[in-house]
């Protein structure tokens, strides 16, 4: 049962540059990339709202001015939104401390911290209830992954108390990792030094553990995804369209594909696997699109095949081209007969001539 948390405030960390997602993030910050038909953050805002969160402070840095025009004061989401910008990046702890200036909650109140690049299906209400019941300093959402070396590894004792915080270590002692959603007691945020670069992972959490304060782990087996790479970004969009993760922000029913306003899909085209077909997109006869994100105004010509890929705004994949596990930048043109695969990225506006790039040796 998802519990409601009236009056809970949240800070949303959206300062990152999204370098691993270039060229998608050259003009758009990662949290604003269209994901299953809406800006990525719309899914997070709608989920937070569903748990009773009513006020969210955005901690922005990279392309900070782009957020407010998209989300405004939050009224469309049933939320009240504030925007706090770091003039110089302050790290996760510094960003949280900086954004806390805009909070209205008291010293003993819980404050939810969300990361702008995570999709999670866990019960935020339950995490906050646990935090309150145990009177913890911080309660971290933990999830289990196959390869914990890329993440902060978080061992706990039998009571759920976090015993160490091991940031990206080659020999992890557990496959439980920091899933990027925290509940802080407000006074703990206020104890982070103001205006300084601080990492919660390397400084704040280990410091709290060392001083004997209660840092709790809330571990769940629910859906979780860090969308920091193109492959993960495509997977997140696909999972939302297919309904593997429920989102109140999805702009249509779940299914094999989601088509936005003005999209034109030929009855002789095959579109499936959780594909998003952007506004005014054209998918011609004989084209096949599987598990991909087609941005607004893009064109997939007759007989072209697009699998597990992102096709940028206004980009064109010409007849017979094959695009698999690739990113095509805005306005780029993939000429007929090209084969793109294995994570290749085409920068915005680039035009690939006919048969410029092949992997197979057929004529």
Distance separating alpha carbons of residues 319 and 334, to the nearest angstrom: 9
How many of the other CB atoms lie within 10 Å of CB of 360? 7
- In the chain, list all ranges with CATH 2.160.10.10: 256-352
Ramachandran class of 173: left when φ > 0, alpha when ψ lies in -120 to 50, beta otherwise: alpha
Chain Cα centroid distance, residue 104: 27
CB atoms within 10 A of CB 250: 20
Q: Residue 41: its pLDDT value, please? A: 94
Do residues 51 and 125 lie in contact, with contact meaning Cβ atoms separated by under 8 Å?
yes
Per-residue pLDDT in tens (0 to 9) along the chain, 363 residues: 344 555 799 999 987 777 788 888 888 888 889 999 999 999 999 999 999 899 999 998 777 788 899 999 999 889 999 999 888 888 889 999 999 999 999 999 999 999 998 999 999 999 999 999 999 999 999 999 888 887 778 999 999 999 988 877 777 788 899 999 999 999 999 999 998 999 998 899 999 999 999 999 999 999 999 998 999 999 999 999 999 999 999 999 999 999 999 999 999 999 999 999 999 999 999 999 999 999 999 999 999 999 999 999 999 999 999 999 999 999 999 999 999 999 999 999 999 999 998 877 665
pLDDT at site 363: 54
Superfamily of domain 256-352: Hexapeptide repeat proteins (2.160.10.10)
pLDDT of residue 358: 84
Q: Which CATH number fits domain 9-226: 3.90.550.10, 3.20.20.70, 3.30.420.40, 3.20.20.10?
A: 3.90.550.10
Q: Contact at 8 Å (CB) between 302 and 286? A: yes
How many residues would you count in the chain?
363
Indicate the pairing of strand 288-290 with strand 270-272. parallel
Place of tokens 């105004």: 297
- Dist CA 107 CA 305 (whole Å): 56
List, by residue range, all CATH 3.90.550.10 domains of the chain: 9-226
Q: The whole model's pTM is what?
A: 0.91
| 3-state SS class at 153 | strand
Q: What is the pLDDT of residue 2?
A: 44
> What gap in Å lies between CA 181 and CA 332, rounded to an integer?
36
pLDDT of residue 1: 34
pLDDT of the residue at 187: 96
């Amino acid at each position: 049962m998802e519990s409601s948390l009236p009056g809970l405030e949240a800070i949303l960390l959206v300062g990152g540059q999204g370098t691993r997602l270039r060229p998608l993030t050259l003009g758009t910050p990662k949290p604003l990339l269209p994901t299953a038909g809406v800006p990525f953050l719309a899914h997070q805002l709608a989920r937070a709202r569903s748990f009773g969160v009513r006020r969210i402070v955005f901690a922005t840095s990279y392309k900070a001015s782009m957020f407010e025009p998209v989300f405004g004061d939050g009224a469309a989401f049933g939320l009240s939104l504030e925007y706090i910008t770091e003039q110089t990046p302050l790290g996760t702890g510094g960003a949280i401390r900086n954004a806390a200036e805009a909070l209205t909650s008291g010293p003993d109140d819980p404050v939810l911290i969300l990361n702008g690049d995570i999709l999670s299906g866990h019960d935020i209400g339950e995490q906050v209830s646990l935090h309150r019941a145990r009177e913890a300093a911080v309660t971290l959402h933990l999830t289990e992954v196959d390869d914990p070396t890329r993440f902060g590894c978080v061992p706990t004792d039998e009571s759920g108390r976090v015993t160490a915080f091991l940031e990206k270590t080659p020999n992890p002692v557990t496959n439980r990792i920091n899933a990027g959603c925290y509940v802080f007691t407000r006074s703990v945020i206020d104890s982070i030094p103001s205006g300084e670069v601080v990492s919660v992972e390397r400084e704040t959490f280990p410091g709290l553990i060392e001083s004997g304060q209660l840092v709790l782990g809330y571990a769940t087996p629910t859906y979780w995804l860090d969308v920091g790479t193109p492959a993960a970004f495509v997977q997140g969009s696909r999972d939302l369209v297919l309904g593997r993760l429920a989102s109140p922000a999805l702009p249509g029913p779940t299914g094999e594909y989601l088509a936005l306003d003005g999209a034109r899909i030929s009855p002789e085209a095959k579109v499936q696997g959780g594909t998003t077909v952007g506004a005014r997109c054209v998918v011609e006869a004989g084209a096949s699109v599987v598990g991909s994100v087609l941005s607004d105004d893009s064109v997939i010509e007759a007989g072209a095949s697009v699998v597990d890929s992102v096709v940028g705004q206004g980009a064109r994949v010409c007849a017979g081209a094959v695009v698999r596990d690739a990113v095509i930048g805005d306005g780029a043109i993939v000429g007929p007969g090209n084969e793109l695969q294995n994570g290749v990225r085409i920068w915005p506006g680039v035009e690939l001539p006919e048969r410029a790039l092949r992997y197979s040796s057929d004529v």
